[in-house]
Amino acid sequence: MGYIDELGIKAKEAKRSIASAGTTKKDEILKKIAEVLRANVNIILEENARDIAAAKDNGISEAMTDRLRLTKERIDGIADACIQLTSLKDPVGEVIEGFTRPNGMKITKVRVPMGVIGIIFESRPNVTVDAATLCIKSGNAAILRGGKEAINSNKILMKLMQDAVEECGFKREIIQLVQDTSREVSTEMMKANDYIDVLIPRGGKGLIKAVVQNATVPVIETGSGNCHIYIDESADIEMALNITDNGKTQRPSVCNALETCLVHKSVAEKFLPLLKERFASHNVEIRGCKETKRILGDCVIDANDEDYATEYNDYIMSIKVVDSIDEAISHIQKYSTGHSECIVTESLKASEKFQKEVDSACVYVNCSTRFTDGGEFGFGAEIGISTQRLHARGPMGLREMTTMKYLITGDGQIRE
């Protein structure tokens, strides 16, 4: 019997208890997890420091190391997210619709947990808590496989959460961590159809591609974020600067950060030098087209197709000057991963065209793509940002972690 088989058997045994638990009991677990995390900040930070040190030794970039880093403030934020989940409506048991057939048979469609959710993710240890608590609130058991970069942080977070689960009278195994981070065990998890009902990859393009191509377990694909902003000819320049700066530099390592800026030729001469000034304090590297280089000079690195297709997760931005909104939309259609795109414009016609024709999960007018987030959308913590079209799209909160079933009641009907 393989390692994942052992976790899977325990998860299947434990899932019935959490699936049938009432909202009050599930919220009790979430409150206890928040309490335990806050009470053990120093222990968590000690284990996280081991991961940070290893990351530096392995030459991981500062932007990516930031994804890994925990602080007292970030741990407080993680605990706060647990409490926020308790205020959200429990989707389990919701009656979606009901009707009576001509033969008197009553049919009710209700929302239910998926069962055992497997999640494969990279770097950020906060995902360990986000994923576990979302699964608990939505009545699912969880098997979590984080990256080796965060293994020490993930181990202590999972132990503390399991202690909280057990203290509330549930089996520890409703949430489990895959502690073997080898590729072989990861592949084993992707093929664990007997135990895992759905698999959610959360991370970079390489991870997501590997899961989609190798998994036999049904997958909800969360997308890498090659996100774009288009500065229209009618844009308010100060607004455009603020949104572009925020989208690129506030936290460049996350999937909703901007990677490419498309600028209408009529405002490029004015906008680009001001953007360069904004970027200077963060030492943002600019990769641009010939026109961008003409305007900004030799500080611009020549951009190619690979640059425009890259999710940098770093202080790097690709820039292209375009002739029209149609050219901007065509560029996005070619290079976008379908995550989040933004237009800055004062034109209602342009904004409507952009939102209608750009086929991404989230399409913004005059606000930052950094808002593509379950918490910012009011969903509480999220399991990821889905860029596919089946079942879920965009930030995936509690409702997206459920499925439905039909309850049929009769009084002796048989089919003729």
**CA separation for the pair 241, 14 (Å, rounded):** 51
What is the model's pLDDT at position 394? 87
User: The pTM is what?
Assistant: 0.80
382 or 35, higher pLDDT? 35
Q: pLDDT band for 202, please (50, 70, 90 cuts).
A: confident
| Beta-strand relationship, 285-288 and 301-302 | parallel
**CA separation for the pair 316, 294 (Å, rounded):** 19
Percent of the chain with pLDDT over 70: 99
The pLDDT tens digits for 338-378 are 999 999 999 999 999 999 999 999 999 999 999 998 878 88
> Residue 285, SS3?
strand
**CA separation for the pair 403, 140 (Å, rounded):** 11
Q: pLDDT band for 112, please (50, 70, 90 cuts).
A: very high
> Residue 406, SS3?
strand
Beta bridge partners of 337: none
Helix ranges restricted to H, 290-403 = 290-296, 305-308, 325-335, 348-357
Q: pLDDT band for 381, please (50, 70, 90 cuts).
A: low
Q: Which two tokens stand for residue 127?
A: 């995902």
CA 156 from centroid of its chain's CA atoms: 22
Q: pLDDT band for 266, please (50, 70, 90 cuts).
A: very high
What's the mean pLDDT in 260-287?
96
What is the model's pLDDT at position 380? 67
What is the model's pLDDT at position 209? 84
